Structures are given as structure tokens and as C-alpha cells.
Chain A
Amino acid sequence: MIRFAGLVVLLLITVALSGCTGDPGGVTELKVLPAGSLLIPFEEAEEEFEALHPGVDVQLEGHGSIQVIRQVTDLHRAADVVAVADESLIPDMMYRRMEDSEENYTDWYIPFATNEMVIAYTPTSRYAGEITSENWYEILDRPGVRTGFSNPMLDAAGYRTLMVVQLAESEYGNETLFASLIGNHFDPPLEVTTDGGVTTIHLPQIMKPSDQELVIRDGSIYLISLLQAGGIDYAFEYRSVADAVGLEWIPLPESINLGSSDLEQEYSKVKVELGFQRFSSIGKERTGRHIVYAITIPANAPHPELAEEFMNYVLGQAGKGRPGWPPPLGQGS
């Protein structure tokens, strides 16, 4: 009888433990939230890290950069690592008190990579044999050419596209370039104002082009799919994304591609005012900046030590400048 009772005790404890440790089957689940343009590199890192750490299951969940942070700060979801495509978002959104705590969501971040905006296309895109870094804006303006970019309301690559095209006006001495490539494809045309040397692009609440020559989608994967299917001819993308999926691309001048830290001052002369404040936790104005990716570990991460190991692994790999990864800082354009 005593043996039986002991067995019951063991059985109950085992059942209880197996069902509710949060690490089923002895596997530790590491929750990692990367920005969309980091998904492919982080999938590679996931596979490699898991091979080096038996018993660890890295769970990736990609979102737009702002949504990545909101998972932690507004939706109060547990996350071990946060990585975004715009370093300014971490201090702006995470350097604040957690609920019922004296601690901030985080007080630090590590900038680890950069990127640059390019124009991606395929060999079957119209005028693919003609487009160059010098004439791209003329090609994109030709009748029948369809160009895509992601929704600035949802994706940093979207508002960065608007900045690139606006900056191109000064680069090429063409004051109607933004209107002809983007602004006039809306009804009414997009409003652009200049004050004190800063140009601001004002967006409507709904980003709906008025013709078929401009295409806007929620995220870059949909543009890639459209490019490959021939639904569009060109798309504004990050260089690392175009590389990772094997698209052709042309580089843009440093003065407009947001890829040079030396030109931060020039980039900041363009702003985008979104049509509405989609999130109460961040305003609706975006300023042109050098593209810098950043990573942090939230103060309430369930597995902080393992998170640090994963973060260090990613930083080490990013530093190598692997194909399809955003280039390390200092090795951008």
C-alpha cells in the first residue's frame, strides 16, 4: 500500500510537471521577435543555434518593427529577444516603465547592421535590359511600367521608399520626380510641403493609388511574389531582402539610399507624416535616417541568459557579412 501511495505521488507530480513547466518535454522555448526584413537571416540563425543547443527550440515570430515592440510593450507578450529595422524605435517605445514595475522594458540596445534601399526587378521586368543606377527614375516613369512598394503605414521600407524618391529630386535636380513617380498616382495627389529646409510628405489615411502603375502591399513578401509573377516590374526593397530571395537589383546613390551614416544629416531633411496614428504608443511622423538594425532583450524576458546567448550568436554571424543578411555596420554602401 505504501508503495502504491508512493507511486501515486510520483505519478501526480510527473503529470503536473509535464503539463505546465512551459518547456514541454524538457525543451526550452526561446521566443524571438524579428522585423520582417530579418526573418530569413534569423531563420538561418535559428537552425544553427538549435543545432548547437540541443533542447532549445527557437520560436521566431516576425512582424513589422513597430509591431515587434508592441508585442512586448502594449500586448504584454513574453519575448526573449527583440530585433528591429530602425534603432530609434527601441528608445522611443521601450525606455518606459513596465506595468506594475519600477523597471523599463529595456534600457539598452545594440545596433548591429545596416541596409540600403535598392530597386529590385526580374529579367522579365519591362526595360530590364536598360535600367541603371543613373536612369532608373526615367524607366520607372515610362508608360505601362508598374512599380511597387510596401505600405508606409505598416512597414519601414514603405516610408523609406517615399524618402528615397523625395531625396532623388535634389540628387538629379528634378523637382517633379516625386510627383511623377509617386505623388500623382493618388487622387488627390500627395501633398508635399517644405519648411526650414525640411520637406514633409503628407499621406492620406488610406494608401490607395488611383491607377495601375503604382502598387502598394502590406509587406515586402507580397511585392516579391508580384515581381516573380510579373504583376509588377520593379519594387523598392532592402538590398539584403533582394539578395536573400535572388532578385536582380540596381544600387541607388548613397545620397538617397539611406545606407550611409555620414549622410544622416542629409537624410533627415525628408519626413513622412502618416495619414493617422495607427498606434497610440508612437507618433505619426517618420524622419529620414541612416538605416540601422538593433537588438535587445526585454527586462522581463523569460530566459534572459539563453536570450543573451542567442543574441550574441546573431551578432557574431551578422558581423561576418553573410549573404542575404543586412550588412554589418560600417560595411554598408
Chain B
Amino acid sequence: MRSAIPALLLLAACTVLCLLAGCTGTPAGGTVQADDFSDWRLTLNGTGEEVLTLEDLRGLPASEGHGYAVSTVGIRYGPYRCRGVDLTLLVDMAGGMGERDQVWVSAPDGYLWVFDAEQMSGEGFVTFNEDLKEIPSPPLSIILMYEQDGHPLSYNDGGPARIAIISKEPGVVTEGSAWVKWVDRIEVRST
């Protein structure tokens, strides 16, 4: 009978492995996105064009601040400590923008959002307090965030890089429609 003990343990280990293999949290009909961003590229397009890797992006001067977003139906996301590259810096790398130009930010999931020059200077946004009551907007910045709460931005959170609207003071909530996830293209367009 003693020889049955290793067999039982082996059986247990196999059972656990099988169970684990079947429950990795894979969404039905979807695929698990490993956080390997080595193939990710960011295209900056304006009067010039540049293509950056994640390493290139992380090598640029960083901006940090508090970010807090809310969906169209009032679901809050955050608050976060956000770190990334100021969108104006990336626009400058694409050749800069004029007062009537716009910045089109898009992602491979088919999402697109547009910022105008006023917003690029941190103005013209609707802001709320944590109770979702409107408050006067403090100075804001748009960044391409690659780090959230001190950690690299995960795929599920929109990584490797997503838009965040940040402020120096905490508790400022902004409309989430502008927080484009999985950004891979930033384009300056004339209106």
C-alpha cells in the first residue's frame, strides 16, 4: 500500500495542473494578451514621421501627475499616479502643430479621439470632483502614459501606452472618452 502514496501525490499534482490549465481567466472568445510589448510601435505623423519603440518612449523626458477618469455612465477609474510623455512633446517630434491643427490619437482596436490646440495646452476640459460634481478645471496635461501607480501599464489597462489627462493636484476627475487605450498612432492634421 505504501507504494500508492507517490501515485496519489502525482495524481493530485496532475489534477491541479489540469485545473489550472483550464482556468487562466481567458475571456470567452478572446485571447490572453501577454504583456510582451516588444513588437509595439508608436507612429508619430505630421509634417514628419517617426516610429518609436517602447524603449524609445521610456527614454524621453517624463511627466508625472494624478489621473482619474469617469465613463459616460459615471463609472470612475482611478485615482492613479500616472507617468508618461507629454503629448505636446510627441507632437513636436512629428513636426509640431498650429493653432488650427488637431491631434488624432488612435489604437488598433479601432478607437480614435481628437484633441484641439486648446486641449493640448491643458484647457477646455470638463472636470469633476470625486463626487462627480463639476469643478473649475485646474491646469491639466495630456500624456501618453506608460506607467500607472509605479508599474508598467498592463495590457488590460491599455498598455503599453494610453492617453491620460493629469493634474498636479489629486482628486480631479476627467471625462474618460479621451483616455485612448493601446495607442499606436498620433497624427497632426490640419482642419
Contacts and interface: CB of A to CB of B under 8 A. Distances in A.
Nearest to B21: A20
Contacts of B75: 61-62
Interface residues of B, number: 47
A18 to B, nearest CB: 10
Interface residues of A, number: 60
Nearest to B23: A20
A324 interface: no
Given A205-B191, A226-B134, A2 B19 contact: no
B28 A16 contact: no
B28 A302 contact: yes
Contact of B74 (A5, A219, A275, A300): A219
Contacts of B132: 221-222, 225
A39 B4 CA distance: 57
Interface in A240-279: 275-279
A198 interface: no
B114 A205 contact: yes
Contacts, number: 138
B11 interface: yes
B72 A155 contact: yes
B34 interface: no
A63 B72 contact: yes
Contacts of B133: 225, 229
Interface stretch (B49-57, B79-87, B90-98, B102-110): B102-110
B147 interface: no
B112 A1 contact: no
B121 interface: no
20 contacts: A1-B5, A2-B8, A5-B5, A9-B11, A16-B15, A20-B22, A20-B24, A39-B73, A63-B73, A64-B72, A77-B27, A98-B29, A101-B29, A218-B72, A218-B176, A222-B126, A276-B112, A276-B114, A278-B113, A280-B111
Interface of A: 1-2, 5-6, 8-9, 12-13, 15-17, 19-22, 36, 39, 61-64, 67, 70, 72, 74-78, 98-99, 101, 150-151, 153-155, 205-206, 208, 217-219, 221-222, 225-226, 229, 231, 275-281, 298, 300-302
Given A9-B12, A219-B73, A280-B112, 11 more contacts: A20-B19, A72-B29, A75-B109, A76-B30, A77-B30, A205-B191, A219-B71, A221-B132, A279-B110, A281-B110, A298-B29
